């Protein structure tokens, strides 16, 4: 990996500055500490190869490709504000490096302060853990993944970039009890519900930021009448991630008979996925239209012990729907 650093350090630095300028121009990285992390952590070390779709099939781009033109494409792609497919299995995507601007948004939503301890669910390439380690220090960061090949690869990438956080192979839905308690939990994989182990392993006031359905939920952990509670709202942005491995697949809502204008609307599909199994699709459509096609940030989630529910506007109702088993 040292040869890769020497070969690409200078062009990568310029590409990295360009990526950061693009994210800033789009309204991101307003926190100087996160901007410094994105400016200084070399993303190309975490994606020595990745896959792009070309002519309907995956094409592999590689840092050691003998063709200089393809190497240049690889480096440009490594610093594009785009998600990168990094691991395929039987033609299916199982790991990726998320879109940098979306990573910046989620990291900012964590509201970290010095001394915070962070649990990351889904090690991926290790890039997100490196950004966290740059901000908080290696000892403050724990990243967990179910796949030993992914954790080993992330560990190698992190070491090449000079970071050594705790990289744990295990079921992310169970958290990481031996490294608890945590002040923040961030997931880089899509959930259908929030594992109950995460709030249980958090200190009071901790933040949980995770993809749920096709949005990003931001929860604050505290105590309620029934014990540990995590509650919060979705960010307005849409988000699509690789599902949490080992979790039950999301229930698919039926859309037969619904008008195309609704089926093709991203916000309606979000409502459908959030209420699948709880609302008939026609009931969901009636609600969506009656409530003036609500944006994601009008929705929220409450997790209380083994029970959790999604809601519109108010966690006490009148629009409340149970989410799936929280596991863990």
Query: What confidence tens digit (pLDDT) does each residue in 97-116 have?
Result: 999 999 999 999 999 999 99
CA distances from 78 to 19, 22, 28, 127 (A): 10, 14, 19, 11
Instruction: Give me the domain span that covers residue 101.
Output: 2-188
Three-state DSSP state, 233:
strand
Lowest mean pLDDT across 71-85, 126-140, 267-281, 283-297: 267-281
Residue 272: is its pLDDT beyond 70?
Answer: yes
193 inside domain: no
Give the model's pLDDT for residue 268.
94
Give the model's pLDDT for residue 5.
44
Of 121, 211, 107, nearest in space to 168 by CA: 121
Question: What DSSP character marks residue 243?
Answer: B
Give the model's pLDDT for residue 305.
86
The Cα–Cα gap between 54 and 23 comes to 26
Give the model's pLDDT for residue 175.
97
Report yes or no: 215 and 291 within 8 Å, Cβ to Cβ.
no
* pLDDT, tens digit, 9 for 90 and up, residues 202-217: 999 999 999 999 999 9
For residue 218, what are its two tokens? 């931001």
Better pLDDT: 38 or 88:
38
183 inside domain: yes
Report yes or no: 318 and 234 within 8 Å, Cβ to Cβ.
no
The Cα–Cα gap between 80 and 84 comes to 9
Give the model's pLDDT for residue 254.
61
Is the bond leading into 181 cis (omega within 30 degrees of zero)?
yes
99 inside domain: yes
* CATH number of the domain within which 154 lies: 3.40.50.150
Residue 226: is its pLDDT beyond 80?
Answer: no
Mean pLDDT across 129-137 = 98
* pLDDT, tens digit, 9 for 90 and up, residues 282-307: 999 999 999 999 999 999 999 998 89
The Cα–Cα gap between 40 and 134 comes to 9
Give the model's pLDDT for residue 3.
36
Tally of domains within the chain: 1
Paired sense of beta strands 202-212 and 57-62, if any: unpaired
Mind giving me the DSSP string for 206-218?
EEEEEEETTEEEE
Give the model's pLDDT for residue 2.
40
The Cα–Cα gap between 297 and 127 comes to 28
Give the model's pLDDT for residue 317.
85
Mind giving me the DSSP string for 123-185?
-TTSHHHHHHHHHH-GGGEEEEES-HHHHHHHHHHHHHTT---EEEES-GGG--GGG--EEEE
The Cα–Cα gap between 61 and 71 comes to 7
Residue 259: is its pLDDT beyond 50?
Answer: yes
Write the CB contacts of 77 (distance below 8 Å, at least 6 apart in sequence): 50, 52, 61, 84
- H-type helices in the chain, by residue range? 2-25, 32-40, 68-78, 100-109, 127-136, 148-160, 197-200, 260-263, 266-275, 281-290
**Active-site residue, 238 included:** no
Give the model's pLDDT for residue 328.
47
195 inside domain: no
Residue 247: is its pLDDT beyond 70?
Answer: no
74 inside domain: yes
> Rg of the chain over CA atoms, in angstroms?
20
181 inside domain: yes
164 inside domain: yes
Better pLDDT: 250 or 183:
183
Query: What pTM was computed for the model?
Result: 0.92
* pLDDT, tens digit, 9 for 90 and up, residues 40-93: 999 999 999 999 988 878 899 999 999 999 999 999 999 999 999 998 888 778
For residue 55, what are its two tokens? 């002519």
260 inside domain: no
Instruction: Given the residues 80, 95, 97, 213, select the one marked as catalytic.
Output: 95
Give the model's pLDDT for residue 122.
95
Average pLDDT in the chain: 91
The Cα–Cα gap between 7 and 74 comes to 13
């Amino acid at each position: 990996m040292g040869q890769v650093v020497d070969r690409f350090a200078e062009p990568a630095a310029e590409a990295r500055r360009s990526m950061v300028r693009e994210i800033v121009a789009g309204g991101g990285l307003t926190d100087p500490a996160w901007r410094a992390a994105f400016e200084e952590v070399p993303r190309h070390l975490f994606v020595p190869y990745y896959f792009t779709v070309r002519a309907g099939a995956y094409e592999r781009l590689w840092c050691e490709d003998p063709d200089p033109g393809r190497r240049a494409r690889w480096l440009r792609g490594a610093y594009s504000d785009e998600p990168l497919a990094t691991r395929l299995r039987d033609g299916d995507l199982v790991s990726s490096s998320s879109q940098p601007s979306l990573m910046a948004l989620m990291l900012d939503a964590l509201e970290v302060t010095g001394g915070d301890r962070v649990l990351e669910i889904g090690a991926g390439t290790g890039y997100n853990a490196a950004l966290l380690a740059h901000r908080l220090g290696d000892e403050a960061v724990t990243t967990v993944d179910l796949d030993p090949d992914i954790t080993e690869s992330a560990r190698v990438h992190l070491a090449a970039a000079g970071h050594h956080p705790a990289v744990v192979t295990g079921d992310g839905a169970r958290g990481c009890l031996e490294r608890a308690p945590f002040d923040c939990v961030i997931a880089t994989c899509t959930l259908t519900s929030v594992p109950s182990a995460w709030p249980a392993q958090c200190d009071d006031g901790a933040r949980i930021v995770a993809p749920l359905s096709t949005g990003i939920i931001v929860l604050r952990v505290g105590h309620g009448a029934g014990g540990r509670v995590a509650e919060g709202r979705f960010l307005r942005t849409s988000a699509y991630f690789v599902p949490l491995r080992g979790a039950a697949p999301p229930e698919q809502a039926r859309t037969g008979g619904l008008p195309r204008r609704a089926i093709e609307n991203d916000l309606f599909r979000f409502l459908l996925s959030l209420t699948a199994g709880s609302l008939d699709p026609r009931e969901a459509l009636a609600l969506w239209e009656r409530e003036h096609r609500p944006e994601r940030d009008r929705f929220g989630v409450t997790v209380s012990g083994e029970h959790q529910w999604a809601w519109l506007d108010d966690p006490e109702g009148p629009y409340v729907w149970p989410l799936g088993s929280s596991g863990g």
